[in-house]
């Protein structure tokens, strides 16, 4: 009995020593690199929740201050979008789909182009469906999820140069998992559902465990084995075409807004008879993503208004 107890104590002490040794090694040699993907702070882990169908989605009624290039106040409506609440349809509706540009990164809500456009179009109802970090695939999924609830007459899909990367993988932004589409027999097939919970999700739910560098490093390896990063051939053009077909079948119109120039997508729009508008402007913050400044949103508002008027989508005049 004493011998068994001795061996148990020896094993436990050995494990404890190995953990201390591993922790020290991680802190000495890996430093904070082993925490990359867990300590990543952004608007998604501050204002969003895990969603098994979309990867992440805004928390309804949540409100926070967030600092990117500047400090802004963010408040989500009862559904989760950074927008006012919308009741039963009483006017023609225009929905704007997009990522952080539509969501309004680095600008207050009143400074966004959608709010400015609403003032120019009092006989229309503008809905902002921007979700930071989304690709065209996730934007298509939320369109189908909420289309019959809001019944838009026009849908703007705002397209930028990183959307192709978003649409071609199941992991984005330091460990956020997402659904993705593959093309099989010339048809889009949705994959990656249910979406795995992200590394950031576990960090913000159980941050105490992540004070250990060893725990963080081990969990990172587990994620890479259990839910590896997947890259697929770019399905973007097919997503846009299927979105266009879905809207046409429901008597709605798709319009593409090009935040960045994409010649291949422009050719796809021409071939598929999808109207589009160029929204490239130099009114952008410096940095990696270079989001629109308030003047950039002014430009987008005026360009969108003029496009709608010129092509007879609206009847209002200033």
Domains and CATH numbers, the chain: 55-196+229-310 (3.40.50.1110)
Give the residues across from 190 on adjacent strands.
Answer: 181
Cβ within 8 Å of residue 199, ≥6 positions away: 37, 38, 174, 175, 219, 220, 223
Rounded to whole angstroms, the Cα distance separating 73 from 221 reads 36
Reading the block at residue 274, the tokens are 């999808």
Closest residue by Cα to residue 83 from 69, 98, 71, 68? 98
Residue in the block written with tokens 């970090």: 133
Rounded to whole angstroms, the Cα distance separating 20 from 23 reads 5
- Report the pLDDT value the prediction gives residue 209, as an integer from 0 to 100: 55
- Report the pLDDT value the prediction gives residue 292, as an integer from 0 to 100: 96
Cβ within 8 Å of residue 306, ≥6 positions away: none
- Report the pLDDT value the prediction gives residue 19, as an integer from 0 to 100: 46
Q: Are 156 and 144 in contact (CB under 8 A)?
A: no
Query: pLDDT tens digits for the chain (318 residues)?
Result: 656 555 566 565 655 555 455 456 556 555 555 555 445 556 555 578 899 999 999 999 999 898 888 899 999 999 999 999 999 999 999 999 999 999 999 999 999 999 999 999 999 999 999 999 999 999 999 999 999 999 999 999 999 989 999 999 999 887 789 999 999 998 999 999 999 988 777 666 665 555 666 556 666 667 667 678 899 999 999 999 999 999 999 999 999 999 999 999 999 999 999 999 999 999 999 876 689 999 999 999 999 999 999 999 987 555
Rounded to whole angstroms, the Cα distance separating 217 from 198 reads 15
DSSP 5-44: HHHHHHHHHHHHHHHHHHHHHIIIIIGGGGGTTTS---HH
- Report the pLDDT value the prediction gives residue 181, as an integer from 0 to 100: 98
Rounded to whole angstroms, the Cα distance separating 59 from 46 reads 9
Closest residue by Cα to residue 77 from 41, 130, 120, 113? 130
Closest residue by Cα to residue 41 from 15, 16, 10, 64? 64
Cβ within 8 Å of residue 176, ≥6 positions away: 44, 55, 56, 133, 198, 200
Closest residue by Cα to residue 53 from 157, 146, 128, 116? 146
- Report the pLDDT value the prediction gives residue 96, as an integer from 0 to 100: 98
Q: Are 311 and 275 in contact (CB under 8 A)?
A: yes
């Amino acid at each position: 009995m004493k011998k068994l107890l001795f061996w148990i104590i020896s094993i436990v002490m050995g494990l404890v020593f190995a953990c201390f040794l591993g922790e020290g090694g991680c802190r000495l040699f890996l430093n904070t690199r082993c925490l990359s993907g867990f300590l990543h702070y952004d608007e998604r882990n501050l204002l969003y929740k895990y969603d098994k169908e979309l990867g992440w989605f805004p928390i309804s009624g949540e409100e926070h201050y967030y600092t990117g290039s500047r400090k802004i106040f963010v408040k989500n409506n009862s559904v989760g979008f950074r927008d006012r609440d919308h009741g039963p349809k009483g006017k023609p509706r225009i929905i704007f789909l997009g990522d952080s540009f539509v969501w309004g990164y680095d600008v207050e809500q009143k400074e966004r182009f959608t709010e400015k456009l609403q003032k120019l179009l009092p006989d229309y109802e503008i809905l902002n469906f921007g979700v930071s970090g989304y690709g065209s695939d996730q934007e298509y999924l939320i369109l189908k999820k909420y289309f019959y609830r809001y019944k838009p007459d026009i849908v703007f899909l705002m397209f930028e140069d990183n959307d192709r990367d978003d649409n071609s993988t199941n992991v984005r932004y330091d460990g956020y998992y997402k659904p993705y589409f593959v093309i099989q027999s010339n048809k889009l097939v949705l994959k990656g559902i249910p979406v795995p919970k992200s590394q950031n999700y576990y960090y913000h739910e159980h941050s105490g465990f992540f004070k250990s560098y060893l725990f963080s490093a081990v969990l990172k390896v587990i994620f890479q084995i259990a839910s590896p990063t997947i890259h697929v051939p770019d399905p973007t053009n097919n997503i846009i075409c299927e979105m266009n077909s879905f809207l046409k079948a429901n008597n709605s119109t798709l319009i593409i807004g090009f935040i960045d120039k994409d010649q291949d997508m422009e050719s796809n729009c021409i071939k598929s008879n999808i109207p589009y508008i160029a929204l490239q402007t130099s009114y952008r913050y410096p940095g990696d993503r270079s989001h629109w400044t308030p003047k950039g949103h002014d430009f987008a508002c005026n360009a969108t208004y003029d496009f709608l008027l010129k092509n007879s989508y609206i009847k209002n005049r200033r």
